[in-house]
Structure 1
Amino acid sequence: MDAPSKPAFAAVADALRALTFRPDFTVREIPAPSSLAPDAFALAGDVRPRDHGIDSEYGTGRLILLHDAAEPDAWNGAWRIVCFAQAPLEPEIGTDPLLADVAWSWLVDALETRGARFHSASGTATKTLSKGFGSLAGEPDGAQIELRASWSPDGDIGVHVEAWAELVCMLAGLPPGSEGIAVFGAHRVARG
């Protein structure tokens, strides 16, 4: 992608604001970090949130689109997408040794299904198990999967954002075509 002017970056951001998502995934623009690149745009997404602006108990995510005409070496280009996706799990699922690999493959599959070209991908998938003690001993055990990833997009940025939205929904137990289907077993245990 050629390095855009400020108006061109603004046009990309406007195109992302115009995207529509499945009805059970709420997306809102959030303040973008100003220290990562000269141009940045950020979104937050929540699966079936109860309250606007509050992380969903089913799954949540963040996406930041960065642009730097200096083309940082690690990016291998002028554009970079940084994303985060997280969802609670049943403790039994959290112990699956392949869970982290599956979470990463869902991101790659979502990108490839949309024809989203990318390179220089990196990331981590973290699974967490939690057990309460003391005054929290009565709380049920919990588990969570979290994926942090970044990649350099080529072509239409919108398909990359759609892939991120699919990833957040998949982690929450909502594969494509599952709009309106109940989510079972999703719970977030408050700790601390």
Structure 2
Amino acid sequence: MNIIEQLRWRYATKKFDAARKLEDNQIETLKEAFNLTALSFGLQPVKLVILSDQEKMEELLPHAFGQQQVVDASHLFVFCIEKVIDEEFIRSYFDKVKAVRNTSEEILKPYRDFLIADFNKKTSEEIEAWARNQAYLAMGNLLTVCAVEKIDACPMEGFLPDKFDKVLKLGKEGLKSVLIMPVGYRSEQDECSTMEKVRKEISESVIEIR
């Protein structure tokens, strides 16, 4: 498989085929890929909510400015961030490192203490901005995996997070939504699927320093 060809095939799908649904194994692949995304410090402040409930997707439609992808897609992915990222959150990560790798406390303590001190210096706004950046990394990773797996997707910022949070009861989970991404199969009626990509020349977008 040529990854560049797959990325050329990928586009932000404007019309989904509502009759076609992703298989369970495809969703499992995307879940695994999400969980394996490389994120800052390994802290994973991002969670993924996966919706396939048609009634719930219809309920969310007006809060996504009527963008039909939200209801026509096979599944709707909602990228969320933790509302509380504190010392306890950081310690829980290092506890997992110790359990999985059997790393000694002597090795873990300096890095753990550094992160705790560093996050204690940050404002809540700075921490939220950092967490949001991780959500973008996770979405970017999934967009590439979708391309490889021939799954159509549409990354979206155009929605009302507070309304999504209320409908999905994300506050009870300590989460807030930041991005959404419908996934499924493109409709044959989507004219955008055959349009040429518009990109700068590589020489204009990449600087090589030798």
Point out the structure with the larger strand share.
Answer: 1
Larger Rg: 2
Point out the structure with the larger helix share.
Answer: 2
The structure with higher relative contact order (CA 8 Å, sep 6+) is 2
